[in-house]
Homo-oligomer: A and B are copies of this chain.
Amino acid sequence: MNTAILENQMVERLARAFRRSPGQMNRLNESDAEIIRLGTNGTRLAVTTDSIVEEIASGLYSDPHVIGWMAATVNFSDLAAVGAVPVGLLIAETLPPGLSEDFLSELQRGIDEACCASGSYVLGGDTNSGSTLEVTGCALGTLEGHRDLSRVGCRPGDLVYSSGLLGSGNAYAVSRFVASRARYPFAPAARIHEGQIIRKFASACMDTSDGVLTTLDQLMRLNGIGFQLDGNWETALDRSAVEIARQASIPPWLLLAGQHGEFELLFTVAPHDERELIARAAAAHWQPVRLGIAVPEQSISFELYGTSAHIDTGRIRNAAFEAHGSVRAYISELMNIDQELQRGDNHHDKQ
């Protein structure tokens, strides 16, 4: 039995009040976007909503272009993870009084440019006046073909890939909160085109919006399997991200643990599909990054401090939830977990 995930429990509690649509094809938590079959002609839609709230309140995002860019990207990334083609974005903004013209135009430009990067458009929106800035996006896409891609479907033996190098999201957070001297750029593009290839071959897919270990943990729980990362997992980290961590004395593996993800797609592929996937990716000038393999045992492990460490990813996920917005408390708990791993406390702490 793994540590229960507080955030999942809250989502389940909130969702319990709602009846489920007969047109909805995914179950709760099993897909990055909701998959809806339209009654009329079999068209399937992917829809998702995601807000930028805590990121602004904590100071993680303060640049208006970053806020706008991310409000669009977090939603398109969910569409990418189900292999959808974006149709457009709705945007609801709560604007505090006295925002400058410059701030507003940078915010809007960030939204529009992220839509453009995903080959999509703002369709409409709503504007409200309120005490704190909040931006909520809602993205809409279509699903082609008959093959469904969700978080569920992975089996032991499947190979785990990322759509790109990892760690930039948490390196950005480190640059904002720990090593404030460093200025680290952050403008991830949703992996729409990669999602189109992935949907043809992958057994499961999820974006790393909440960090790599959270993503692996969620896939582990949903599929009843575990993951073992390859011995050279550090080569999957973005070099500039590792450099930012090094400067701030943050151990590199915490770039996988932190909750501010890089918005890559993390996906699994059956061994017999791997070759074709790689060939199609190469034809699209894209190189997926191999991370490891799915294993029968429900645990996430990788080489760390000279041993094969089993990581309590449930504890790591709950640390973010329990910090109640205190960045300091959250980083402190992650550093505690690292200390325990360095001392070797973890070898038998799986429940």
A contacts, CB < 8 Å to B: 10-11, 13-21, 23-24, 33-34, 36, 38-41, 43, 45, 47-51, 53-54, 57, 87-88, 90-94, 97, 104-105, 108-109, 111-112, 115-116, 120-132, 134, 136, 138, 140, 142, 144, 324-325
Task: Using A121-B19, A123-B24 as known contacts, say yes or no to A40 and B142 having CB atoms under 8 A apart.
Answer: yes
Q: How far does the alpha carbon of A176 sit from the alpha carbon of B17 in the complex, in Å?
A: 28
User: Is A128 in contact with B54, judged by CB distance below 8 angstroms?
Assistant: yes
Task: Using A43-B41, A49-B138 as known contacts, say yes or no to A17 and B128 having CB atoms under 8 A apart.
Answer: no
Interface of chain A: mostly helix, strand, loop or mixed: mixed
Q: How far does the alpha carbon of A91 sit from the alpha carbon of B105 in the complex, in Å?
A: 26
User: Is A124 in contact with B324, judged by CB distance below 8 angstroms?
Assistant: no
Q: How far does the alpha carbon of A324 sit from the alpha carbon of B108 in the complex, in Å?
A: 22
User: Is B130 in contact with A54, judged by CB distance below 8 angstroms?
Assistant: yes
A-B CB proximity, top 4 nearest: A17-B108, A21-B121, A138-B138, A53-B128
User: Is A38 in contact with B142, judged by CB distance below 8 angstroms?
Assistant: yes
Task: Using A21-B88, A87-B23, A108-B18 as known contacts, say yes or no to A124 and B49 having CB atoms under 8 A apart.
Answer: yes
User: Is A10 in contact with B90, judged by CB distance below 8 angstroms?
Assistant: no
Of B11, B19, B36, B90, the residue contacting A112 (CB under 8 A) is: B19
In the complex, the chain B residue whose C-beta lies closest to that of A37 is: B87
- What are 30 A-B residue pairs whose CB atoms fall within 8 Å in the complex? A10-B127, A14-B93, A15-B122, A17-B111, A18-B115, A19-B121, A23-B88, A34-B88, A38-B87, A38-B142, A39-B142, A47-B88, A47-B90, A47-B123, A47-B124, A48-B90, A48-B124, A50-B126, A51-B92, A51-B94, A51-B136, A53-B128, A53-B130, A54-B128, A92-B92, A92-B136, A128-B134, A129-B325, A130-B132, A132-B132
User: Is B45 in contact with A140, judged by CB distance below 8 angstroms?
Assistant: yes
User: Is A94 in contact with B53, judged by CB distance below 8 angstroms?
Assistant: yes
Task: Using A11-B127, A94-B51, A134-B134 as known contacts, say yes or no to A20 and B121 having CB atoms under 8 A apart.
Answer: yes
Of B87, B93, B104, the residue contacting A36 (CB under 8 A) is: B87
Beyond A48-B124, A50-B92, 20 extra complex contacts between A and B, CB < 8 Å? A16-B108, A17-B111, A19-B115, A20-B121, A21-B87, A21-B88, A34-B123, A34-B124, A36-B87, A41-B41, A49-B91, A49-B124, A51-B94, A51-B126, A53-B129, A92-B92, A92-B136, A97-B324, A129-B325, A131-B132
